[in-house]
Amino acid sequence: MFGAMLRFFREQAGLTQEALGRRVGFSKSQVAMVERGDRPPKGDFAPLADDAVGARGALLVAAEQLHVSHLPTWTEEYAEAEAEAVALHTYQNHVIPGQLQTGAYAHAVFNCHCPPLNDDEVNARVATRLDRQKLIRREPAPVISFVLEQIAITRPLGGPSVLKEALHHILDVARLRNVEIQVMPPTRQTHAGLNGPMILLETAKRRQLAYVEGQSGGFFVDEQPDLSDLFARYGILRAQALSPEDSVELIEQVARGL
């Protein structure tokens, strides 16, 4: 709605996106993204744009009502489905999954972001990530499983103390009745997940979804045969990984060595 209002007042004022961008100190592409709803009006954008297009405060009021998500645009739809999931199954090959991260570990992950995020954005994304972890202890309890490559529990993002805290947190979560955590050893000669990470969901209406995220975006898989293929792949991954009991023992061993 904010974007639609901005475009209306801009056109009424006879300004192009490029011209408005010059007046408010933003690029043409940034103005276009705000008008499309691809990004929120950050910083002084709303008051400067309101003045530039003569909206007489209308854009300021609209900005105050705006719900600003700190998730990447492509992740917002997934987060909505995740919050209502009755089952969540995750395979991760580089980092500890967001659902298992501590605040310090999440900070370390977002501090690796390229291009760099500012402190406010890092803090907001960390808070959003930790809030999403309520799913694990929600009632009724969802069925949750993780398969983690061993490098994810040994790579010292943030330093040894941050990793050690994260591993102890994983062990706490692994004690929950509705959660199973398995580690994939690096000695496997066959591997069903070479195509990369994936998240499998089952909604309250028993609809199955898969979510795959890449370098510059993510997407849902909800059509056959691709969906069944991903669920089958995850099943094989669980069979190839260490048992939950052996995985806990390995995580404890890694934590003791830090």
Q: Look at residues 45, 37, 51, 47 and name the one whose alpha carbon lies nearest to residue 4.
A: 37
Q: Can you tell me the mean pLDDT for 221-244? A: 95
pTM for the full predicted model = 0.72
Q: 122 or 63: which carries more pLDDT confidence?
A: 122
**Residues 158/159/160/162 CA torsion (nearest 10 deg):** -30
Look at residue 73 and tell me whether its pLDDT is greater than 60. Answer: no
% of the chain with per-residue pLDDT over 90: 56
Q: Can you tell me the mean pLDDT for 116-132? A: 89
Look at residue 156 and tell me whether its pLDDT is greater than 80. Answer: yes
Cis previous bond, 185, omega within 30 = no
Q: Are 93 and 153 in contact (CB under 8 A)?
A: no
How far apart CA 127 and CA 177 sit, in angstroms, is 26
Q: Are 221 and 230 in contact (CB under 8 A)?
A: yes
Please state, in angstroms and as integers, the Cα–Cα distance from residue 8 to each residue in 5, 72, 210, following that order. Answer: 5, 26, 38
pLDDT in tens, 181-206: 999 999 999 999 999 999 999 988 88
